[in-house]
Amino acid sequence: MDKTPVLIIDDEKNIRLTMSHTLEDLELEIDTAVNGEEAIEKMDKRDFSLVFLDLRMPGMDGMDVLREIRKHHSKTPVVIITAHGTVDNAVEAMKLGVADFIQKPFSPREIRDLAMSVLRRGDVDEQNAISYESLIELAARRIADREFHLAMEAVKRAIAMEPSQPEAYNLLGALHEVTEDELEAQRFYRAALDIDPTFRPAQSNLERVTSFFRNGGIKLVADGDETGEKP
Amino acid sequence: MKVLLVGGGKTLYFLCRKFTSSGHDVIIVDSDRDECVSLSRQLTATVVAGDGSDSRILDEAGVRGADVVLAITSNDQDNLVICQLAMRTFGVRRAMALANDPENATVFRDLGLDAFSTTEIIGSLIEQHAAIDQVRNLLPVGEGKVNVTEVSVDTGSPVAGKLLKDIELPGNALVAVIIRENETIVPRGGSSIIAGDRVVLITLPENHGKVIEAFTGERA
Amino acid sequence: MKNDRYIVIVGCGRLGSHLANRLSIEGNSVVVIDNKESTFENLSLDFSGFRIEGDATRLSVLKEAKLGDADVLIATTREDNVNLMVAQVAHKLFAVPKVIARVFDPRREEMYKQLGVETICPTTVAAELFLIEASKGGKR
């Protein structure tokens, strides 16, 4: 049987090395690309079952690479590699429909678990997802399909099962941002921080959302003052 | 009681003064030699110069006879080690560590120490205040010389049911606006205040406490 | 699977970077934490791990390094107390299976052994080696 082909797109040799090394143990066939141009060229020649993409690369912008992949290979699941604390593009990437995110640094176990769960994700649906983990998997699958409301439903069911996981609230916050309900998004980021005040992703999300509001969302001037920015 | 303080700076100085004035014996361990000289001149305490996380220094300072050890250096890692040495090596019954990073207060407790964080303490004081007296500071104006404060009036308030002109207020205080349900009333002497109102007050720092007290009945 | 571990190293000085380079080349996934970015220059070109600039006595930095996933933690900074604190936090709060701290002051070793932290004191180790060599000498 043919090995499952996986593509790793990253300008950093470190990351390509670590990831290929780790994923080879899973009997996957690993190919790598050092930039967006090379990646798109490779993807046009053959179908990959899974793609890892770093959004921060010199040359062709990671977001453009993602757009290109989503346009021409909409069935290929894409996992975004992010540096710790950076969430600038996460919401935009989610809107385009990505399979998952992985934050640097990552352990070999984390990479393998994520790769396997994304590759197996096709089996999970609204009927058979009954545990917290499988509901989060389902949400991730629906995000990749760009079915954001179904994804939200899944996360809510997950929260109902385990109400003390900051990740789930953070994810729900991000989904509200994707559907452009920033106030609700803030509420869920705050809920994540109530559970764990040190939870970094929610911290940065909240900072980003609230600074967005300062810069243009909330009217800070009295009615009738036309110099104020309108949302 | 015999207290051993490890650290430096003003906090150490004032803590020591507080303990000695209430009749406790205090030993200070400070790694800053110059500070040690001036501390020994100003305080009636034994002052030892050296690294408090070094067991020899602690021993020399007389940690074995201490009832309490307080580690308040500016490095959390040093405070942890000082307290662990005091308790584990020298058998001191109580040791408390300052957590400069408030998150480390929890870490220290998880590692089996008594810990405190000034950030946590001040933060909870402020929260308690805000929760108790239904008072919200809206904004300080003119570099804090004028306060704008919102107070909720409940049935227990001494002003509930009174006319504004019958309420005794210190001079230089002003009821700027009464908010009743969604209506805003610019008050006159004949306006009354009823339970459920929210009142926006303008006060000066010197009369702020009294004005708030007049409206809530509680000491601010 | 021996050389496929997730290893967090605190301190990227001479000892820390040396360990990081070796463990990385052997195929482990290595994260190095140091509060000075310039120390990362000590890492070799073959180092394929991650770098985090930050103070390891802060919980948030250790979480960023995903210490909870680590198989091994090695604390190698020049400050005994930093190493001892990080090592205890790794052992007790993150349940890292193997925790090793470098400690310069040999008198601290015993207490930390009791606390579940394995310590290595470079002076003691070096002294042992010197003594072994010295015992071989002498006119007979």
Percent of chain B's residues with pLDDT above 90:
45
Highest mean pLDDT among A72-76, A197-201, B207-211, C5-9: C5-9
Residues of C within 8 A of A106 (CB-CB) are: 29, 66
pLDDT one-digit tens code per residue, C26-37: 889 999 999 999
Residues of chain A with CATH 3.40.50.2300: 1-121
CB interface of C with A, residues 75-134, below 8 Å: none
Q: Which of C58, C81, C111 sits opposite B89 (nearest CB)?
A: C111
Residues of C within 8 A of A17 (CB-CB) are: 48
ipTM: 0.86
Architecture of domain A124-218: Alpha Horseshoe (1.25)
Q: Which among B132, B168, B179, B134 is positioned nearest to B154, based on CA atoms?
A: B134
Residues of chain A with CATH 1.25.40.10: 124-218
> Are C59 and B103 a contacting pair at CB < 8 A?
yes
> Are A107 and C70 a contacting pair at CB < 8 A?
yes
Residues of C within 8 A of B57 (CB-CB) are: none
Name which residue leads in pLDDT, B146 or A21.
A21
Of A203-217, B41-55, B165-179, which range is least confident?
Answer: A203-217
Residue C11: per-residue pLDDT: 97
Q: Does any CB of chain C come closer than 8 Å to the CB of residue A208? A: no
| Cα C75 from Cα B136, distance rounded (Å) | 47
Residue A12: per-residue pLDDT: 86
Q: Which of C5, C47, C50 sits opposite A105 (nearest CB)?
A: C50
Segments forming the whole domain that contains residue C78:
6-136
Q: For each of the domains in chain B, give its residue range(s) and CATH number, in order of start.
A: 2-123 (3.40.50.720), 133-216 (3.30.70.1450)
Distance from chain centroid for Cα B127: 12
Q: Which of B53, B54, B103 sits opposite C60 (nearest CB)?
A: B103
| Distance (Å) from the alpha carbon of B77 to chain C's nearest alpha carbon | 5
Contact C28, A17 (CB under 8 A): no
pLDDT one-digit tens code per residue, B174-186: 888 888 887 778 8
| Cα A50 from Cα A43, distance rounded (Å) | 11
Q: Count of domains in chain C?
A: 1
Q: Does any CB of chain C come closer than 8 Å to the CB of residue B118? A: no
| Distance (Å) from the alpha carbon of B183 to chain C's nearest alpha carbon | 47
State the DSSP string of A134-201.
Answer: HHHHHHHHHHHTT-HHHHHHHHHHHHHH-TT-HHHHHHHHHHHHHTT-HHHHHHHHHHHHHH-TT-HH
Is residue C1 in a domain?
no
Residue A44: per-residue pLDDT: 93
Q: Chains meeting A at 3+ CB pairs closer than 8 A? A: C
CATH of A1-121 among 3.40.50.720, 3.40.50.2300, 3.40.50.2000, 3.30.70.940? 3.40.50.2300
Residue B131: per-residue pLDDT: 53
A104: closest chain C residue by CA? C50
Percent of chain C's residues with pLDDT above 70:
98
- Tally of CA atoms within 13 A in the half-sphere of A27 that contains its CB: 3
Q: Which of C31, C48, C63 sits opposite A198 (nearest CB)?
A: C63
> Are A18 and C60 a contacting pair at CB < 8 A?
no
Stated length of chain A:
231
pLDDT score of C114 more than 90: no
> Are A198 and C29 a contacting pair at CB < 8 A?
no
Q: Does any CB of chain C come closer than 8 Å to the CB of residue A216? A: no
Burial class (CB in 10 A: 0-12, 13-18, 19+), A153: middle
> Are C60 and A21 a contacting pair at CB < 8 A?
no
pLDDT score of B136 more than 70: no
pLDDT score of A221 more than 60: no
State which amino acid sits at residue A125. Answer: D
> Are B76 and C111 a contacting pair at CB < 8 A?
no
pLDDT score of B51 more than 90: yes
Q: Which of C59, C107, C114 sits opposite B107 (nearest CB)?
A: C59
Residue C52's pLDDT band (boundaries 50, 70, 90)?
very high
C91: closest chain B residue by CA? B111
A–C interface: beta-carbon pairs under 8 A: 45
Strands B68-71 and B94-98: parallel
Q: Does any CB of chain C come closer than 8 Å to the CB of residue B59? A: no
Residue A213's pLDDT band (boundaries 50, 70, 90)?
very low
Is residue A82 helix, strand or coil? strand
What integer is the mean pLDDT of A184-199? 86
> Are A21 and C27 a contacting pair at CB < 8 A?
yes
| Cα C72 from Cα C74, distance rounded (Å) | 7
Residues 6+ apart with CB under 8 A from B88: C111, C114, C115
pLDDT one-digit tens code per residue, A141-150: 898 888 999 9
pLDDT one-digit tens code per residue, C53-64: 999 999 989 998
* Arithmetic mean of pLDDT over chain A: 83
pLDDT score of A215 more than 50: no
Residue A220's pLDDT band (boundaries 50, 70, 90)?
very low
Q: Helix, strand, coil shares of chain B as percentages rounded to 5?
A: 40, 25, 35
pLDDT score of A211 more than 70: no
pLDDT score of A212 more than 60: no
Distance from chain centroid for Cα B209: 18
pLDDT score of A88 more than 80: no
| Cα A76 from Cα C53, distance rounded (Å) | 35
| Cα C51 from Cα A212, distance rounded (Å) | 30
Q: Does any CB of chain B come closer than 8 Å to the CB of residue C81? A: yes
Burial C82-99 (b: 16+ CB within 10 A, else e): bbbbbbbbbbbbbebeeb
Residue A231's pLDDT band (boundaries 50, 70, 90)?
very low
Q: Does any CB of chain B come closer than 8 Å to the CB of residue C93? A: yes
pLDDT score of A228 more than 60: no
- The owner of tokens 């001191």 is B92
Residue A152's pLDDT band (boundaries 50, 70, 90)?
very high
Is residue B201 helix, strand or coil? strand
Distance from chain centroid for Cα A114: 12
B112: closest chain C residue by CA? C92
Is residue A65 helix, strand or coil? helix
Residues of C within 8 A of A21 (CB-CB) are: 27
Distance from chain centroid for Cα B10: 15
Residue B167: per-residue pLDDT: 84
CATH number at residue C11: 3.40.50.720
Residues of C within 8 A of B74 (CB-CB) are: none
